């Protein structure tokens, strides 16, 4: 079955960050299976690399001033990692892996100012994001980032710390109040005692502080260790159900029907948590392309920024501007608001963020200026005055934003386009936009991207 242009764009927005017009033209006649194969074939895993050798030091040997300087550099490096991942999402062909990594970056939310362990965690997520959820769960649970963030290095048989045990059930596997008790958390915490890290920020099991006594967890009794708890959680059908409920809402844009959640949970559970099997099934299903879901998802701030930059290549003289934009839109990568992650869907939008979202295309594509057509009834003096105000505003915004779009590349991408721009750029029904017959491509794109409808995909 060949997909319509609208459905191809739907697939590439939900499994990636949109599609360019040239790419759309080149793959129009492929079947849905071929499209999905292409997404997987392009998403080979390669670790995201960044030079962090300056942090390979024994902090105990540093002076107070040196430790202070190192902390400051760590803070700056976290910003650089943020921008590095954003740039990778804009440039990569492997969009499916990055889009799913974005989902699990939120699912396994960690907030630290340690670039070494944060980059390691991101690469664990990226490695497994379209692979096996069970493997990802265990490796993340033993990652230094998660151990530090949820204080499991403080979890000892003499003084158990329940933070990680609670979150692994409540947020990562079963879901809040779904089949576990406070006693299950206490017993699981005992099993996780001894999971810690060494001076080089590597996972280490310390048997001296591990509780070797018998434990009863979710109706199972034994002398369990942390790995056993992870396996017990994976053996609960509720884990597959909870994950599918979150994943379907992420991919569909709205909460899924119960029967669709159950069908996906059965498939994931029967295939030992193989995410590739689940994703292929979702992307090739009739349900995924139902009109209820097309154009029904509010773009996350990352979707919005990356998608815009993939359509119109932008060079930021000071890339930290991207960080400021993320802050205004309420999604700073590597810095979720809490362990539960970001408020998704409608949570992205309030009166402040919506106005900024609609202004964003003119800010980064035209220095904050939306081209205007003078009213014929205005005097020449008034038109000159308004033009002068526009020029001053443009210069002030240019100095602040310093974003330089590559309109030449963009125009090549849209050269010879027969379809209307609004039909291509919007996933909803085209709206009445004040586009003049003599508007150039740049003006038309900015006007369309500045609509409320462009916030949806």
pLDDT value of residue 367: 73
Res. 372 pLDDT band, cuts 50 70 90: very low
In the chain, % of residues over pLDDT 70: 90
User: How confident is the model over 309-320, as pLDDT tens digits?
Assistant: 999 999 998 888
Q: Ramachandran region of residue 273, left (φ > 0), alpha (ψ -120 to 50) or beta?
A: left
280/154 Cα distance (integer angstroms): 41
Q: What are phi and psi of 205, to 5 degrees?
A: -95, 125
CA dihedral angle for residue 203, residue 207, residue 208, residue 213, rounded to 10 degrees? 130
Q: Is the pLDDT of residue 175 over 70?
A: yes
pLDDT value of residue 379: 57
* Residue whose pair of structure tokens reads 């990569």 in the numeric block: 92
Kindly state the average pLDDT of the residues 25-45: 95
pLDDT value of residue 376: 47
Q: Minimum mean pLDDT among 33-42, 355-364, 376-385, 428-437: which range?
A: 376-385
Res. 368 pLDDT band, cuts 50 70 90: low
Q: Is the pLDDT of residue 234 over 90?
A: yes
Q: Is the pLDDT of residue 374 over 50?
A: no
Q: Is the pLDDT of residue 126 over 80?
A: yes
Question: ∠ CA(227), CA(138), CA(208), 5° rounding?
Answer: 45
pLDDT value of residue 57: 87
295/452 Cα distance (integer angstroms): 12
More confident residue, 99 or 414: 99
* Residue whose pair of structure tokens reads 């998660």 in the numeric block: 146
pLDDT value of residue 351: 87
pLDDT value of residue 130: 99
pLDDT value of residue 440: 86
Question: ∠ CA(105), CA(107), CA(110), 5° rounding?
Answer: 60
pLDDT value of residue 178: 95
379/99 Cα distance (integer angstroms): 52
Which tokens go with 442? 């740049």
Kindly state the average pLDDT of the residues 156-170: 98
User: How confident is the model over 62-80, as pLDDT tens digits?
Assistant: 999 999 999 999 999 999 9
Res. 417 pLDDT band, cuts 50 70 90: low
pLDDT value of residue 150: 98
Which tokens go with 105? 């970056």
* Residues whose CB falls within 8 Å of the CB of residue 455, separated by 6 or more in sequence, listed in order: 298, 299, 304, 349, 354, 357, 358
Report the Cα–Cα distance between both ends of the chain, in Å, rounded. 22
Q: Is the pLDDT of residue 108 over 70?
A: yes
- Residue 203: beta bridge partners? 197
Cα distances (Å, whole numbers) of residue 226 to 63, 138, 152, 164? 37, 9, 11, 11
Res. 349 pLDDT band, cuts 50 70 90: very high
What are the structural domain ranges in the chain? 5-41+237-289, 53-234, 301-455
pLDDT value of residue 380: 62
pLDDT value of residue 318: 86
**CB count in 10 Å sphere of residue 248:** 24
Res. 112 pLDDT band, cuts 50 70 90: very high
- Residue 195: beta bridge partners? 205
- Mean pLDDT, the chain, rounded, equals 91
User: How confident is the model over 240-285, as pLDDT tens digits?
Assistant: 999 999 999 999 999 999 999 999 999 999 999 999 999 999 999 9
Cα distances (Å, whole numbers) of residue 141 to 197, 258, 340? 12, 29, 16
Q: Is the pLDDT of residue 370 over 50?
A: no
Q: Minimum mean pLDDT among 18-32, 120-134, 175-189: which range?
A: 18-32
pLDDT value of residue 384: 55
**CB count in 10 Å sphere of residue 171:** 18
């Amino acid at each position: 079955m060949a997909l319509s242009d609208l459905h191809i764009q739907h697939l590439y927005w939900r499994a990636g960050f949109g599609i360019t017009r040239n790419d759309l033209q080149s793959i129009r006649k492929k079947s849905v299976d071929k499209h999905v194969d292409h997404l997987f074939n392009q998403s080979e895993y390669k670790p995201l690399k960044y030079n962090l050798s300056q942090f390979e030091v024994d902090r105990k040997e540093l002076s107070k001033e040196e430790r202070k300087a190192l902390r400051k550099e760590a803070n700056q490096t976290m910003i650089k990692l943020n921008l590095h991942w954003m740039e990778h999402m804009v440039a990569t062909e492997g969009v499916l892996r990055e889009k799913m990594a974005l989902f699990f970056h939120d699912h396994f939310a960690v907030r630290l100012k340690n670039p070494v362990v944060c980059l390691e965690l991101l690469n664990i997520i990226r490695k497994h994001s379209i692979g096996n959820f069970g493997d990802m769960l265990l490796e993340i649970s033993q990652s230094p980032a998660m151990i530090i963030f949820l204080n499991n290095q403080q979890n000892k048989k003499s003084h158990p710390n329940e933070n990680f045990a609670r979150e692994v059930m409540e947020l990562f596997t079963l879901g809040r109040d779904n089949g576990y008790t406070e006693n299950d958390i206490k017993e699981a915490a005992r099993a996780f005692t001894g999971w810690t890290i060494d001076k080089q920020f590597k996972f280490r099991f310390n048997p001296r502080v591990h509780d070797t006594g018998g434990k009863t967890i979710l109706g199972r009794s034994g002398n369990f260790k942390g790995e056993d708890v992870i396996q017990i959680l994976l053996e609960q059908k509720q884990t597959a159900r909870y994950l599918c409920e979150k994943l379907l809402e992420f991919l569909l844009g709205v909460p899924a029907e119960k029967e669709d959640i159950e069908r996906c949970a059965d498939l994931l559970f029967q295939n030992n948590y193989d995410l590739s099997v689940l994703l292929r099934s979702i992307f090739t299903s009739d349900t995924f392309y139902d009109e209820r879901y097309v154009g029904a998802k509010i773009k996350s701030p990352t979707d919005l920024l990356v998608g815009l930059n993939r359509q119109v290549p932008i060079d930021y003289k000071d890339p930290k501007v991207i960080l400021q934009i993320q802050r205004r839109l309420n999604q700073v990568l590597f810095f979720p608001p809490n362990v539960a992650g970001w408020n998704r869907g409608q949570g992205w939008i309030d009166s402040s963020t919506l106005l900024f979202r609609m202004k964003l295309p003119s800010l980064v594509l035209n220095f904050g200026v939306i081209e205007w057509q003078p009213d014929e009834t205005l005097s020449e003096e008034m038109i000159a005055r308004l033009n002068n105000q526009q020029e001053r505003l443009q210069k002030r915004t240019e100095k602040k934003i310093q974003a330089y779009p590559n309109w030449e590349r963009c125009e090549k991408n849209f050269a010879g386009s027969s379809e209307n721009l609004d039909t291509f750029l919007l996933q909803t029904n085209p709206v009445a936009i004040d586009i003049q017959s003599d508007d150039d491509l740049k003006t038309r794109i900015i006007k369309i991207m500045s609509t409320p409808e462009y916030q949806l995909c």
